[in-house]
Structure 1
């Protein structure tokens, strides 16, 4: 199986999980964003600024439009979308609710507002919004959330827990218990959501509250939507956990077995989550002031960089990254690229002076991809040299609404520790020795 084949299994099953249109606080990130935009031609068009990933200037541009016309529904929706990127829920709700009020037919604004509530575990408020878009997949999630009894993701147990990795390759994996049953092995993939295989769901006695049908790579796939009674990760137990399941395409683990599912960002963003590749463990902390202080003290001791953190779509983490001389610009952090350290589109690869190996194309479903190995990629002081990657027509712009320099993935993070601090919206990464695949 080629690298492209293995990554296709991750890409395909994510395309249908959620509508991608659902989409350090913003102030701390603005200096980085300003620096990233100097290479871009000067513009006052906030839509172009947003598309280029210059969120601060874009937000100020939309604010200027609203001073001239307070009823500009598009500007309101975009300000809400920018606030939602950094989990600024109060501002996001205020702008998005007003946008929906002014333009009740705007399905995108409704999905973003629904996601604003879902991220806060206030799923009941998302239900009428999702039911009103006219989209069958939105309706399935509405039925699922309506079936949650009490608040979802109720948490009990320790303030901090450590789950040893079962293995690091093909992706990090840990042992988890579903509905009080025996522990099963789950992959960790920040580009995914929380999902089970159909077999796991059946053995755990889960009941489907709704179904949705999608067509990834020309296939017809049915997704089942339900709620787990409990989900135990080490010394922490979560209750009333929304989950989906389907015939998940997953890679074989080193022992020849198959994973029971995937732990993705929709679960991880309930914690301060550390994927310690070097120490081979997943560390989950509750989002409290004490845990933030402990994390920052550890970062000081290890010399980890602190970078901005955003959530694109409804579950893909992003920060600032560079490729060769290009950047820092917004970069996504989907860790699920097996055997891959960087994924770029052709335009950005050429802009960064990355050599594209057109002589060895690979087919990834309907997409043709080409190998790359940029001389230097970096997130802060964490550097990778000649790390294996692919160039393809990745749909990030259409999924996120803004461009990314690329996606940093599995091979870049090995031998490092990375932390997604969803309390402070900061991304921590240890520099370590430069990852060198050359």
Structure 2
């Protein structure tokens, strides 16, 4: 993610920016909370909380929120909002069977609930069951959803079919401005691709044309006030090291990316929609991307390595369709839910003015930067941390980040590029754990 150009916000305009509202159903105009059939002031029980579950969810207390919604459903089994929210919480942790059951029930109770339709479609997409997502996306009435439906309908064979080695190590071409590796599209010569966990898999238009990709559909978005046409297609193969992925959904567009150290332009961005198919390690310190298949043997090998390296294991949630989250702290404020969009060039943390003030972080209002429709101000927190791994005096910025609108819950900060440089970070989307180790 770039502080001046949102090139990583490509998938559905990052869920249509402000379109991802808290909850589903009829919205209360003042609070933005969905109506329930039970009073919001209802005391849930002595074993849960007197605070309503919508507020618990908004604050990132997903476990207690889920218990609160379950309590409401004992009182009113037809509460569509509570069912939908339980499905949403299950999907955050990739609990696919539970999420599918709850979201299907929520749609049955509220057939006009387009948000739950998108959530259920995402549940299928994450499992590479893209054909099941097609009718749901076509049924929302949203042109962007329709573009993805057409793209998924054009996939022949299993999407993201993995061939080749059980594990591969792909050296970084560079670490700055962001980690970059070489990969090959449709059997062509290798090209340079940035790695950014706040992105999907996206190419430049030039790369797509050279690879002979065919647009199955298009969608229009407006990042930072621009009008951007995104092309949706499916590539035959994508090689990373000794692993080849086949039948891969991909998007491409004309949006400039940062120059590489040699002055060339990257061919595209590798993001979480690809990385989540593996036990994926971004080893900044040793400058390599390591991809392991999601097998028991690879899990055991990695866990032994994690123990030897003293890695911290933290919870992992997947927000929207491609932004990982865990728990982090700013000085002594936290731990609270934090996002892990690694694409913040030249900085290690991004937060809001309110969170910076809560954490006692000084804000440099004398040196504002304006870009992407937002004004940001420099900060240099004394200490930011994920588990026991601490970054001291790492540069960052505060700004009016739309995380609540994008995710539906509050985050303390986004931890990004400069913070991760001494570390190796691993995303385990099978067991929903995030690992961070010193190297």
TM over 0.5: yes
> Residues 264-343 of structure 1 correspond to what in structure 2 (within 5 A)?
264-343=271-350
Rounded to whole Å, the distance in 2 between the matches of 1:253 and 1:177 is 18
Corresponding residue of 1:103: 110
Are 1:205 and 2:201 matched, yes or no?
A: no
Pairwise CA distance, 1:104: 1.0
Contact 1:187 1:261 in 2 (8 A): yes
Given candidates 381, 392, 405, the residue that maps to 2:399 is: 392
Residues 179 and 15 of structure 1: CA distance in aligned 2, closer, same or farther (over 3 Å): closer
Rounded to whole Å, the distance in 1 between the matches of 2:7 and 2:327 is 22
Are 1:7 and 2:14 matched, yes or no?
A: no
C-alpha RMSD over aligned residues: 1.5
Contact 1:305 1:431 in 2 (8 A): no
Pairwise CA distance, 1:321: 0.4
Pairwise CA distance, 1:346: 1.0
Larger deviation, residues 362-371 vs 223-232 = 362-371
Q: Which runs of 5+ in 1 are unaligned?
A: 24-41, 433-438
Rounded to whole Å, the distance in 2 between the matches of 1:141 and 1:14 is 12
Aligned residues: 410
> Residues 222-241 of structure 1 correspond to what in structure 2 (within 5 A)?
222-241=229-248
Q: Which runs of 5+ in 2 are unaligned?
A: 22-48
Large movers: runs of 4+ above 4 Å: 15-18, 20-23
Pairwise CA distance, 1:328: 0.6
**1:320-345 deviation line (CA, Å, top 9, x unaligned):** 00001111100000000000100001
Corresponding residue of 2:32: none
**1:251-291 deviation line (CA, Å, top 9, x unaligned):** 00001111000000000000000000011000000011111
Corresponding residue of 2:189: 182
Contact 2:216 2:233 in 1 (8 A): yes
Pairwise CA distance, 1:385: 0.7
Are 1:63 and 2:70 matched, yes or no?
A: yes
Corresponding residue of 2:25: none
Larger deviation, residues 194-203 vs 349-358 = 349-358
Rounded to whole Å, the distance in 2 between the matches of 1:114 and 1:258 is 34
Corresponding residue of 2:417: 410
Corresponding residue of 2:381: 374
Rounded to whole Å, the distance in 2 between the matches of 1:346 and 1:182 is 46
- Secondary structure, aligned partner of 1:282: strand
Contact 2:13 2:223 in 1 (8 A): no
Rounded to whole Å, the distance in 2 between the matches of 1:279 and 1:303 is 16
Contact 1:12 1:217 in 2 (8 A): no
Are 1:423 and 2:419 matched, yes or no?
A: no
Pairwise CA distance, 1:17: 4.5
Given candidates 150, 153, 156, the residue that maps to 1:146 is: 153
Corresponding residue of 2:57: 50
Pairwise CA distance, 1:212: 0.4
- Secondary structure, aligned partner of 1:162: strand
- Secondary structure, aligned partner of 2:229: strand
Pairwise CA distance, 1:358: 0.7
Given candidates 157, 175, 179, the residue that maps to 1:168 is: 175
Contact 2:12 2:145 in 1 (8 A): no
Rounded to whole Å, the distance in 2 between the matches of 1:193 and 1:132 is 23
**1:358-414 deviation line (CA, Å, top 9, x unaligned):** 111110222111001111000011100111000000000000000000000000000
Corresponding residue of 2:119: 112
Rounded to whole Å, the distance in 2 between the matches of 1:296 and 1:258 is 36
Rounded to whole Å, the distance in 1 between the matches of 2:13 and 2:199 is 8
Rounded to whole Å, the distance in 1 between the matches of 2:431 and 2:8 is 31
Corresponding residue of 2:35: none
